[in-house]
Amino acid sequence: MPLPFKSLYRVLCLVVLAQSASASASASASASAANGGGTSGLKPSDCQPRDADSTCATAVAGTPAVAPAPPLPKPAGVLYDGPIGGMPSSGYAYWGFDFFADETGTPSLVRPDEFINRSPVPVTITLSFTIPPRPGCNKDCLPGVEFEVDAGWFKIDPPFVFDGDTASVTQTFAPGRGYGWAIGLWQATHARLTVSVAEASAATLQQVGMAALPGTATEIAAVIGSCICADGSSAACSDGSRFSNGLLGSYYPKKEVYRRAGAFNACPSER
């Protein structure tokens, strides 16, 4: 039975609407699939450089590398501020060596077992340590520290300065003066050396007598030579080994002497 015209027109409209809805749904599904599925796709504007979280499907390519922070500059006039290389955990040790005389083969201006300030300005040496809590820290827990100076190897015992858990001693040496130091840690830790000159000075570590790397103690082998004995004969002898930063060896406060490893003298009176 043929449908009336109005009914037929209504059916045709419903068919067109259904086809349109189907096409829209298909397009939406395709877009969703292209964006990784789900009901809400990611747009390019959702991802910015450095993003790599729930707002992005993957980390954004081309993220700029972060450069490491530059080291903090040393205060003006400070030539070195760091650990003392070769510090033994027990016992005393001595540091002092005339690098210039050794490298050039010339006699030392003061003595060969002291650093010599060959700069035109005074140099200040500070030795600092971490100590146990005070006032429980008594005399025996403080480090043993002394400076040896000049050709006569005179001893200087500067007073300690306390700042919280840090104890330090400081001594200034004029141009041309020789100096060295002996340290025994006892209960102290973290021995530290600070070498400084006046802010406007242009002196270097080498000019004030120090090694280029005070925090590194590399052993330098002993050299065996020939010594003239008291009876006029000659015999093999050696000053012993030393270390690259001026550490010479164990120090004995009561006798006020140090011993370099491997040192010997084969002269009859020295055996």
In a domain, 50, yes or no: no
Residue with tokens 């450095």: 50
Per-residue pLDDT of 208-237, as tens digits, reads: 999 999 999 999 999 999 999 988 899 999
> Cβ–Cβ contacts within 10 Å for residue 140, how many?
8
In a domain, 221, yes or no: no
In a domain, 184, yes or no: yes
In a domain, 5, yes or no: no
Count of the separate structural domains present in the chain: 1
In a domain, 267, yes or no: no
In a domain, 161, yes or no: yes
Per-residue pLDDT of 178-202, as tens digits, reads: 999 999 999 999 999 999 999 888 8
Quick check: bond before 73 cis, omega within 30? no
In a domain, 52, yes or no: no
Per-residue pLDDT of 121-136, as tens digits, reads: 999 999 999 999 877 7
Residue 61: which pLDDT band, with cuts at 50, 70 and 90? very low
What CATH number has the domain bearing residue 110?
2.60.120
Hey, what amino acid is at 54?
S
In a domain, 34, yes or no: no
pLDDT exceeds 70 at position 142: yes
> Cβ–Cβ contacts within 10 Å for residue 165, how many?
15
DSSP code per residue over the chain: -PPPHHHHHHHHHHHHHHHHHHHHHHHHHHHHHHTTSSSSPPPGGG--TT--STT-SSPPTTPPPPPPPPPPPPPTTEEEEEE-TT--SSSEEEE---HHHHHHTPPPSS-TTSEE--SSS-EEEEEEEE-PPTTT--GGGSPEEEEEETTTTEEE-PPPEEETTEEEEEEEE-TT-EEEEEEE-TT-EEEEEEEE--TT----TTTTT--S-TT---EE---EEEEE-TTS-EEEEE---EETTSEEEEEETTTTEEE-TT-EE-SGGG-
* Nearest in space to 124 (alpha carbons), one of 73, 168, 69, 87: 168
The CA distance from 266 to 234, in Å, is 9
- Note the pLDDT of residue 195: 98
Could you tell me the residue range of the domain that residue 98 belongs to? Answer: 78-210+243-257
